[in-house]
């Protein structure tokens, strides 16, 4: 079950609870699911009970307990646990990791696209300022991932005014300049320095682009070893479930990517996407050492499964960098 499918599963549970008279609320158009937060458990969590508590006139914990059995009855759901003030934590059955990786690989760089802004026109009024122009240009693409259309205009009243850069970022080059302007939150002053050009771990942009290049290198190296093709019947779900235990952090950030795109579009915050890509990169760089056979080890289905997961990470990194207007080189 993919995150998108799980979101629909939760909505069906809400609808059933309403149909049988256990809840008196309007069924929301969509619900968010993501990795459990602090104190959570399982594969995913949702705050839908907290969202519905007010309209239902019930404590969030009561709403969560009403929804828990309805979600638990869904195929593919192994367990549902309520934690904190009313978070529903969902543990999936076998094949969840395989489904997520398959979804990323099948959708490619359109993974994470949704319809949360479908039919909406987002007007971005910006001042004549370099950073504001770059942020607005990026938001046009991010808003489009959610089915909306952003229109950029200049003049008053301004509704998008990020803190201007202290100096011209152009000498950094196109990619580093965009990163320097997009990575900080809009209310933070961007740092324009040569640090963005350093090829070392302290530079987040380098880590993201290096991680993408490593994904491509893993594919090339796997091809040289005779198992460069991923996806389809070559990657049994069970093997990907084994990989889930080794690459849990990587699977988690990949699953959270659609939610990050929704938030970046809704809050006009491309920095959320930039920071998420750093998380994907860091998780991939820790996982990459498990992908290829070591020593006399022969390539196996487990290696193909790990390669598929790395390929999925590379796909998300490439797609995210493209939305930011930054290149994703094959070699670095």
| Residues 14-59: tens digit of each pLDDT | 999 998 899 999 999 888 888 888 888 888 899 999 999 999 999 9
**pLDDT score recorded for residue 235:** 46
What mean pLDDT comes out for the span 254-264? 89
In percent, how much of the chain has pLDDT > 90? 69
Say what the pLDDT of residue 218 is: 96
Which residues, in sequence order, are CB contacts of 252 under 8 Å at separation 6+? 35, 283
Q: Average pLDDT in the 240-268 region?
A: 83
249 band by pLDDT with thresholds 50, 70 and 90: confident
Closest C-alpha among 149, 76, 166 to residue 115? 149
The Cα 129–Cα 169 span in angstroms is: 12
Q: 13-24 burial, b for 16+ CB within 10 Å, e for fewer?
A: bbebbbeeebbe
Q: Does residue 236 register a pLDDT over 70? A: no
Rounded-to-integer distance, Cα 317 and Cα 254, Å: 10
For residue 200, give the DSSP letter.
Answer: S
Q: How far is CA 98 from CA 93, 242, 244, 306, 309, in A?
A: 11, 10, 9, 11, 9
- What are the helix (H) ranges across the chain? 3-19, 48-56, 60-72, 96-107, 130-145, 174-182, 204-224, 237-246, 248-266, 270-287, 301-324
Give the model confidence (pLDDT) of 129-170 as tens digits: 999 999 999 999 999 999 999 999 998 899 999 999 999 999
For the residues 213-234, what does the mean pLDDT come to? 80
pTM of the complete model: 0.78
Measured distance between the N- and C-terminal CA atoms of the chain, rounded to whole angstroms: 35
pLDDT at 234 over 50: no
Length of the chain in terms of residues written: 332
pLDDT given at position 233: 45
User: What integer pLDDT is reported at residue 146 of this predicted model?
Assistant: 95
Out of 68-72, 211-215, 246-250, 303-307, least confident range? 246-250
pLDDT bin (cut points 50, 70, 90) of residue 94 is: low
**Is the model's pLDDT at 237 over the cut of 50?**
no
- pLDDT, residue 7, reads 87
Q: Note the pLDDT of residue 325.
A: 98
What is residue 8's predicted lDDT score, i.e. its pLDDT? 86
Contact indicator for 81, 73 with CB cutoff of 8 Å: no
Give the whole-angstrom CA distance, residue 264 versus residue 266.
6
Average pLDDT over residues 247-261: 86
Whether residue 232 is predicted with pLDDT greater than 50 in this model: the reply is no
**Average pLDDT over the chain, rounded to an integer:** 91
Q: What pLDDT was estimated at residue 244?
A: 59
Contacts of 177 (CB under 8 A, 6+ apart): 134, 169, 170, 196
Which pLDDT value is given to residue 239? 64
251-269: average pLDDT: 90
Determine contact, residues 67/14, Cβ cutoff 8 Å: yes
Neighbours of 95 (CB within 10 A): 16
């Amino acid at each position: 079950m993919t995150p998108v499918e799980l979101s629909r599963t939760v909505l069906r549970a809400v609808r059933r609870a309403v149909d049988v008279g256990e809840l008196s609320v309007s069924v929301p158009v969509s619900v968010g699911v993501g990795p459990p937060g602090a104190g959570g458990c399982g594969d995913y969590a949702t705050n839908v009970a907290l969202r519905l508590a007010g309209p239902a006139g019930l404590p969030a914990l009561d709403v969560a307990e009403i929804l828990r059995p309805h979600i638990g009855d869904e195929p593919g759901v192994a367990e549902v646990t309520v934690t904190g003030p009313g978070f529903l934590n969902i543990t999936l059955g076998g094949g969840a990791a395989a489904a997520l990786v398959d979804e990323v690989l099948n959708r490619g760089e359109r993974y994470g696209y949704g319809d949360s802004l479908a039919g909406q026109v987002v007007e971005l009024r910006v001042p004549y300022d370099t950073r504001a122009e770059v942020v607005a240009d990026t938001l046009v693409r991010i808003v489009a991932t959610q089915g909306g259309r952003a229109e950029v205009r200049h003049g008053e009243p301004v509704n998008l005014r990020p803190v201007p850069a202290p100096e011209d970022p152009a000498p950094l080059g196109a990619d580093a300049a965009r990163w320097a302007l997009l990575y900080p939150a809009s209310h933070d002053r961007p740092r324009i320095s040569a640090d963005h050009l350093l090829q070392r771990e302290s530079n987040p942009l380098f880590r993201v682009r290096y991680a993408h290049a490593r994904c491509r290198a893993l594919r090339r190296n796997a091809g040289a070893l005779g198992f460069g093709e991923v996806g389809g019947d070559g990657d049994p779900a069970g093997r990907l479930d084994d990989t889930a235990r080794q690459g849990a952090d990587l699977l988690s950030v990949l699953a959270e990517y659609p939610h990050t795109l929704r938030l970046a579009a809704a809050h006009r915050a491309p920095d959320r996407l930039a920071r998420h890509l750093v998380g994907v990169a860091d998780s991939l760089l820790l996982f990459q050492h498990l992908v290829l056979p070591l020593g006399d080890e022969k390539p196996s289905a487990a290696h193909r499964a790990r390669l598929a997961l790395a390929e999925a990470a590379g796909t998300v990194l490439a797609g995210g960098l493209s939305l930011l207007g930054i290149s994703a080189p094959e070699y670095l």
